Amino acid sequence: MLTVKPFKIDVQSSVLDDLQTRLRQTRWPDAPDNIGWKYGTDPVFLKSLVDYWQNGYDWRKQEAALNQFPQFTVEIDGNTIHFLHITSKNPNAKPLLLLHGWPDGFYRYHKVIPLLTHDYHLVIPSIPGFGFSSKVAMTDDGSAKVFDKLMKDALGYKTFFAAGGDIGQGIAKSLANLFPEHVAAIHLSDVGYPDGSEDWSQMSPAEQEFGQFIQGWWYREGAYAMLHSTKPQTQAYGLNDSPAGLAAWIIEKFNTWRTPQGTLEDNFTKDELITNVMIYWVTQTINSSMRTYAVDTPEKLASSQKVTVPTGVAIFPGDAPTPKEWAERKVNLQRFTKMEKGGHFAALEAPEIWAKEVDAFFKSIPAK
């Protein structure tokens, strides 16, 4: 068994003092009048957020709330892995590994913890390169190997469920393909996207339409991923140095990938947005998190192969409109649901809806 150590978030006051100084000294760029989100992060919104960050936001309050959950670290293959481990009082509870993506972290799942702990032992890690885990960027397969050891060797779970989206879905698929004897089922909020290498003559009309949508999406929205994949170090100097810049880079994604209706603040509070950014800021992991894109070579990964273990898929309206045929091509599809609300960060944005759907799927899976 690996040695698991208790962990508590305790950011030094000097870090918070330095942050306040940097926020006060933000050098704002010019912007066209009433530009909104057209060219990226809305300058009016960001200035209001930074003002609240300075004058209303309380990190110590958020820190204390997060520390109410039992947290731990463990050394696996020379790297520190941070995770939450909330055990259920239910003797029949099943272990469930929850995997986040970019640009969020373990914080994505804090609202669903009380909704799932009756029936599940929850393990919620910071994936390598993120949050309070080591600043090392890993492929989907690399992270999957780490998390299999976390579940089996550190926590003693012989079989488990896994759920995730974004980078988390890739890791979940790698886990299922590399360790099918350990992974009873997985649940995903996306299954990956067409990349142009497919034989379109073998794709359904719905899949072809989806492929065209994804191609257009990359032109409109994919610049961040290209930067992460090719020049993450260049981007990191500014983002690691400027909290306003870091917030702008991250929050634009929360706005673009949310439920289409309403505004950003209809779906996330300022406290939630800032706390997510703060975890990147206090751990200085924006560079290693972006570098994750650069180390992945999808065509060589287990996550690129079709998943054979039972899989549930929920597609949220703020995410890409994945058709059922594409999901069937990628996974052993046992449940496919088009959700009415939620986006890329559905567990944070619409926790009750997300938790109910995930719970319904896993309860349909026979014991393994």
Question: Hey, is 176 helix, strand or coil?
Answer: helix
User: What are the Cα distances from residue 239, in Å, to 28, 39, 44, 160?
Assistant: 14, 18, 20, 37
Question: Residue 311's beta-bridge partner residues?
Answer: 186, 333
- Please count the residues of the chain: 368
166 is catalytic: yes
Count of Cβ atoms closer than 10 Å to residue 11 Cβ: 16
Tell how many helices (H) and how many strands (E) occur in the chain.
16, 9
Tokens of 147: 């998390």
The H-assigned helical ranges of 117-267 are 140-149, 167-178, 205-221, 223-230, 232-241, 243-256, 264-267
| Amino acid found at 259 | T
Question: Hey, is 112 helix, strand or coil?
Answer: coil
Helix (H) or strand (E) holding 329: helix 324-330
* CB 96, CB 161: distance < 8 Å: yes
* CB 160, CB 147: distance < 8 Å: no
Place of tokens 């944005």: 349
User: Which listed residue (104, 148, 166, 359) is catalytic?
Assistant: 166
- Helix, strand, coil percentages for the chain (3-state, nearest 5): 50, 15, 35
User: What are the Cα distances from residue 159, in Å, to 106, 190, 368?
Assistant: 22, 23, 7
Label the pairing between strands 310-315 and 94-99: unpaired
Pick the closest to residue 138 from 342, 6, 297 (CA basis): 297
Tokens of 85: 């481990």
293 is catalytic: yes
User: Which listed residue (293, 296, 319, 359) is catalytic?
Assistant: 293
Label the pairing between strands 71-76 and 79-86: antiparallel
107 is catalytic: no
Place of tokens 């060797």: 153
* CB 334, CB 311: distance < 8 Å: yes
Residues belonging to the active site = 166, 293, 344
